[in-house]
Amino acid sequence: MRTDTVYKKAFNRAASMLRDGQLTGDLPSENELRRQMGVSRTTVRKVLGELAHRELIAERSGVRTAGRPVEDSDYYPDAETTSRAKHVEQQFMEWMLRGDTRPGTSINELELARQFGVATNGIREFLIRFSRFGLLEKRPNTGWLFKGFTEDFALELFEIRVMFELRSAHLFSRQADTSPLWEKLAVLKIAHTELLKRIESRFHDFSGLDNRFHRLINEASPNRFIDDFYDIISFIFHYHYQWNKHDEKQRNQAAILEHLAYIEALESRDPERIERACRAHLGSARETLMRSLIVFDE
When the beta carbons of 141 and 178 are compared against its own copies, the nearer one is: 141
103 binds, among DNA, its own copies, none (CB under 5 to 8 A by kind): none
Instruction: Tell me if 117 contacts DNA by CB under 7 A.
Output: yes
When the beta carbons of 109 and 264 are compared against DNA, the nearer one is: 109
Instruction: Tell me if 134 contacts its own copies by CB under 8 A.
Output: yes
Options 50-58, 175-183, 219-227, 245-253: segment touching its own copies (CB under 8 A): 219-227
Residue 69 to residues 28, 30, 45, 230: CA-CA distances in angstroms?
A: 18, 21, 20, 43
132 binds, among DNA, its own copies, none (CB under 5 to 8 A by kind): its own copies
Q: What amino acid is encoded at 81 in this protein?
A: T
Give the total residue count for the chain.
298
The dihedral built from the CA positions of residue 209, 210, 211 and 215, taken in this order, carries a sign that is: positive
Say which residues have a Cβ less than 8 Å from residue 56's Cβ, sequence separation at least 6.
15, 18, 66, 67, 68, 70, 74
∠ at Cα 133 (94, 97), nearest 5°?
A: 20
Instruction: Tell me if 6 contacts DNA by CB under 7 A.
Output: yes
Say which residues have a Cβ less than 8 Å from residue 175's Cβ, sequence separation at least 6.
181, 182, 220
Q: How far is Cα of residue 14 from the mean position of the Cα atoms in its chain?
A: 23
117 binds, among its own copies, DNA, none (CB under 5 to 8 A by kind): DNA
Instruction: Tell me if 178 contacts DNA by CB under 7 A.
Output: no
- Rounded to an integer, what distance in angstroms lies between the CA atom of residue 169 and that of residue 218? 8
Instruction: Tell me if 226 contacts its own copies by CB under 8 A.
Output: yes
- Name residues contacting its own copies, limited to 27-56 (CB under 8 A): 40
Q: Closest distance between DNA and the C-beta of residue 160, in Å?
A: 28
Give the interface with its own copies as residue ranges (CB under 8 A). Answer: 6, 40, 121, 124-125, 128-129, 132, 134, 141, 153, 156-157, 159-160, 163, 167, 222-226, 228-229
